């Protein structure tokens, strides 16, 4: 993918430009959001250890998360990954997702204009619910005996 004449790196530059104008978001704001958010996550007594158990090199994770948010918030198509399997086996309950969302909402309000914060928060809440359902689905369960 290469930037179009407006300098926007996106599979759909016109749509991305429209979202940027409407929300006040751009790649720089999303990069700041992601970095500040994971600073808080890493310092968090509950979430920090769960991430530390899986991620030793934060550089590639942060890059991937900027691509993810660029794709989700600006429709750039920069992220090509699979979030579901990355979460399915994590030792988490809905309370962990609630804590994740508290930190995310807080960081979005600090780093984005109000329309932009509302835009990313709405998407984070929706994705958190589907990731939680994936975690629940993957949990080993015993099938009740028919006899």
Query: Measured at the alpha carbon of residue 24, what is the angle toward residues 115 and 38, in degrees to the nearest 5?
Result: 80
Question: Which burial class, exposed, middle or buried, applies to 74 when counting CB atoms under 10 A from its CB (0-12, 13-18, 19+)?
Answer: buried
Query: Could you say whether residue 134 binds ligand HEM (CB under 6 A)?
Result: no
**Interface with ligand HEM, residue 128, by CB under 6 A:** yes
Interface map 66-105 toward ligand HEM (x if CB under 6 A): --x------------xxx--xx--x-x---xx--x-----
Q: Output the six-digit token pair for 137.
A: 């689905």
Contact criterion met (CB below 8 Å) for 64 and 15: no
Residue 120's nearest CA partner among 93, 101, 137 is 101
**Minimum Å distance from CB 113 to ligand HEM?**
20
List 55, 102, 109, 133, residue binding ligand HEM (CB under 6 A): 55
Judged by CB under 6 A, the stretch of 12-20, 31-39, 125-133, 139-147 that binds ligand HEM is 125-133
Q: Which stretch binds ligand HEM (CB under 6 A): 7-15, 29-37, 121-129, 136-144?
A: 121-129
131 binds ligand HEM (CB under 6 A): yes
d(CA 43, CA 72): 25
User: Residue 30 or 47: which CB sits closer to ligand HEM?
Assistant: 47
DSSP 79: -
DSSP state, 107? H
What is the residue whose two structure tokens read 């809440």?
125
Q: Which residues contact ligand HEM (rule: CB under 6 A)?
A: 47, 50-51, 54-55, 64, 68, 81-83, 86-87, 90, 92, 96-97, 100, 124, 127-128, 131
């Amino acid at each position: 993918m290469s930037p179009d004449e407006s300098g926007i790196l996106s599979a759909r530059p016109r749509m991305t430009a429209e979202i940027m104008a409407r929300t006040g978001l751009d790649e720089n704001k999303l990069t700041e959001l992601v970095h500040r958010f994971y600073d808080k996550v890493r310092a968090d007594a509950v979430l920090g250890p769960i991430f530390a158990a899986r991620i030793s090199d934060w550089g590639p994770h942060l890059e991937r998360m900027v691509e993810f948010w660029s794709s989700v918030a600006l429709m750039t198509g920069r992220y090509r990954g699979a979030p579901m399997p990355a979460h399915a086996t994590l030792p988490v309950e809905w309370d962990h997702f609630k804590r994740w969302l508290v930190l995310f909402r807080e960081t979005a309000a600090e780093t984005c204009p109000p329309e932009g914060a509302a835009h990313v928060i709405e998407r984070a809440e929706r994705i958190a619910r589907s990731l939680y359902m994936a975690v629940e689905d993957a949990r080993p369960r015993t099938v009740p005996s028919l006899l």
